[in-house]
Structure 1
Amino acid sequence: MPLRTALLLCATLLAAAAARAAETPPQPATPVIAAVVRTLPFTDPVEALGTLKARESVVVTANVTETVSAIHFDDGQRVKKGDILVEMTGAEEHALIEEGRARVAEAQRQYERVKSLAGQRSAAESLLDERRRDLETARAALAAIESRLADRLIKAPFDGVLGLRNISVGALVEPANQITTLDDLSTMKLDFSVPSVFLADLKPGLAVTARAPEYGDQRFRGEVSGVDSRIDPVTRSIQVRALIPNPDGRLRPGLLMQVELERNPRQALVIPESALLALGQDQFVMRVGADDRAERVQVRIGARRPGEVEITDGLRAGDRVITHGSDKVRAGQALDLVLDDGTRPLKDLLGAREAVKP
């Protein structure tokens, strides 16, 4: 075939192919769901087991051996500081107080009389000193008797909730006998052990989240109040104490709790975990470009938490990444977006996706 004829044939074929391409309809945009890369608070959780203690806790006992004359509390009663819980027999002390008050009054009168005479130079100063000493002695003796009587009144040392009553009226109580318990349950102390490798991150103010099987999925939040000064040489762990508010009194001393310590708090770039595409050891995402076309971007990830992952490199706040439908998308492909703002469940987003399909 002559060269001229061959060139004309090629030109004709190229023109026909171009005409067919012009007649081919454009590829429709691929429907996907995307989310915005956000900056959110992020932490590295450390899990542990801890035991609850009351903020203040005492075993109520007597200071003297005596019989109980009156009981002023019931099981589980809430009391205020200074409330009288138990009265013990003190008839002898009451009589001695009356005698002591009489002695103080008499010593006061003798002192005032001699003081008046000493002012008129009719009594020696040594006699005045003697009467003053008698008055002070009488007052001291009265204070001692009042203290003995006070030992027979058992009072609440702080606000709290009483336990079960272990005595009855008429019982002979000794200092070793337990009358009841008193716990301040307004705030609970949660003690737990943490591996010493995290020592550098431990400090007061770190947030903790605790759960107990008795309360299902309910979470109780608090913060670290202190860190022990010693590391256990056997377990290489250190004791940490957190305070958890307990306004409704649901938490009780001795309760075992699962603790999550939120160490290394920071602001981090976060995307839904469903946006990640793994290829060997590398991680990628499909990013939505400015013209709503897909871009394949390699990223570096940090910590994870349920449903979310931290991005340390490859994305910026405000970028949009595909979370559902990325397996059907190729780089450069046009996208038809439904944006997930985190407020609607996935089934609603999928419903919205179906509604906008042509």
Structure 2
Amino acid sequence: MRNNLAKAIVFLGTTALVAGCQTSAKQNDAVAEKLPVIETFVPKKEILTTELRMPAEITGFQQVDIYAKVSSYVKELKADIGSQVKKGQLLMLLEAPELSSQLAAAQSRLRSQEAVYTASRSTYNRLFETSKVEGTVSRNDLEVAEARKNSDFAQYQAAKAAYTEIQTLLGYLQIRAPFDGVVATRNVNHGAYVGPAGKGSEAPLMTIQQQNKLRLSVYVPEQYSGYLKNGSALQFSVKSLPGQTFSATIARMSGALDSKLRSERVEMDVINAGNKLLPGMVAEVQLPLTAKDSTYVVPKTAVVTSSEGTFVIVVADHKTSRLPVQKGRVLEDRVEVFGAISDSTQLVKLATEEIPDGTSVK
């Protein structure tokens, strides 16, 4: 009887223990089932090559506004808007009657002073030769003659300089092309008064542009300037010539950021074959951005930008944590990121602000 009772107690205890274990296991399974399932991935490095489209401006490789150096009148126009001109070609002839009178007066003064100097020089030379015979010429007379000769020579040089100056001013009445190019603007007509100051000096007489070679200028944002270098080839297009693309080469980079735009000025040289392109056109430039080193590229959905900053969500030991990153270049569905990421980091593919740090996940 006692043996049967003991067996019954042992059986009931074993049954209760098994039931308790089964209940605990079911509870653990229930907790595990409640953990959210989040898709993760391991980021990979790539040497990213992207393209940046930016508006750019086309200008003449050289451009100069021509002004009158002396007060004068337009006597004759030798070129007009659209004229192809060569370096040194006469563009405009001006006239200044008062300069011609001044030149004649300066020439007369020059000849007069030259005669005076010639006479004083002859007197000095004669006295100098005579003074070689002792007692014929006093030392004082010789010194006075020499001083007069030197003074007359200085006056002669001054008259010569004045004459040359007026000749130079007369040369300014001939307006010539400084380089091969095209007359882009003409702001005066025959008979117009022009001068270095006052009425007639507000606008240039003409503007000359070099158009067989053009300058393409673009301002590249700070975050992309490091991807460009001199000598890089690129393509661009203009709205006035749809369907056509043109080639250019990066020739100059400013090496500094504009204080207002926070961007770097980049200039390209364009050979204008067929003169299809014109200064003043707005172009769209395709700038190739090729990374020097491989970088991590992740789906856009893995990066969260909020008031707290930009971050990705890392999963380690089934717990989430936010990792601050910086965005780089953006593709259609991917983005370049920089931060404390490694090849073994598990990142949440669909990251949101609603996933706080310390969230338990499967």
Q: TM-score, normalising length from structure 1?
A: 0.56
1:82 aligned onto 2:82 = no
- SS of residue paired to 1:53: strand
- SS of residue paired to 1:222: strand
Q: How does 1:46-195 map to 2 (within 5 A)?
A: 46-122=52-128, 124-173=145-194, 174-195=200-221
User: Which structure: larger Rg?
Assistant: 2
- SS of residue paired to 2:274: coil
Residues 233, 108 of structure 1: alpha-carbon distance in 2 compared, 3 angstrom cutoff: closer
- SS of residue paired to 2:186: coil
| Per-residue CA distance 1:300-333 (angstroms, 9 max, x = gap) | xxxxxxxxxxxxxxxxxxxxxxxxxxxxxxxxxx
Q: Distance in 1 between matches of 2:76 and 2:90?
A: 10
Moved more, 224-233 or 243-252: 224-233
Match in the other structure for 1:346: none
| Per-residue CA distance 1:109-161 (angstroms, 9 max, x = gap) | 33334334333335621111111111111011112222332333322222210
What is the RMSD of the two structures over their aligned residues, measured on CA atoms?
2.8
The residue type equivalent to 1:148 in the other structure is L
Contact map agreement 1:61 1:176 (CA 8 A) in 2: no
Contact map agreement 1:63 1:175 (CA 8 A) in 2: no
Residues 94, 183 of structure 1: alpha-carbon distance in 2 compared, 3 angstrom cutoff: same
Q: Distance in 2 between matches of 1:53 and 1:46?
A: 21
Q: CA deviation at 1:265?
A: 9.2
Moved more, 257-266 or 240-249: 257-266
Q: TM-score, normalising length from structure 2?
A: 0.56
Q: Distance in 1 between matches of 2:279 and 2:124?
A: 66
Match in the other structure for 1:277: none
Match in the other structure for 1:196: 222
Q: CA deviation at 1:92?
A: 1.9
- SS of residue paired to 1:185: coil
Q: CA deviation at 1:206?
A: 1.5
Q: Distance in 1 between matches of 2:258 and 2:204?
A: 33
- SS of residue paired to 1:97: helix
Q: Distance in 2 between matches of 1:190 and 1:135?
A: 54
For 2:280, which of 222, 247, 254 is the aligned residue? 254
Q: Distance in 2 between matches of 1:125 and 1:155?
A: 47
- SS of residue paired to 1:193: strand
Q: CA deviation at 1:235?
A: 5.3
Match in the other structure for 1:21: none
Q: Distance in 1 between matches of 2:218 and 2:93?
A: 40
Match in the other structure for 1:240: 266
Q: CA deviation at 1:44?
A: 4.5
Match in the other structure for 1:341: none
Richer in strand (by share): 1
Residues 104, 234 of structure 1: alpha-carbon distance in 2 compared, 3 angstrom cutoff: closer
- SS of residue paired to 1:189: strand
Contact map agreement 1:48 1:192 (CA 8 A) in 2: yes
Which blocks of at least 5 consecutive residues in structure 1 are unaligned?
A: 1-41, 267-358
Q: Distance in 2 between matches of 1:165 and 1:250?
A: 22
Match in the other structure for 1:11: none
Contact map agreement 2:83 2:183 (CA 8 A) in 1: yes
Residues 244, 43 of structure 1: alpha-carbon distance in 2 compared, 3 angstrom cutoff: farther
The residue type equivalent to 1:220 in the other structure is F
1:230 aligned onto 2:251 = no
Q: How does 1:300-311 map to 2 (within 5 A)?
A: none
Q: Distance in 2 between matches of 1:171 and 1:196?
A: 49
Residues 205, 114 of structure 1: alpha-carbon distance in 2 compared, 3 angstrom cutoff: same
Match in the other structure for 1:269: none
The residue type equivalent to 1:55 in the other structure is F
Contact map agreement 1:206 1:261 (CA 8 A) in 2: no
Contact map agreement 1:160 1:182 (CA 8 A) in 2: yes
Match in the other structure for 1:211: 237
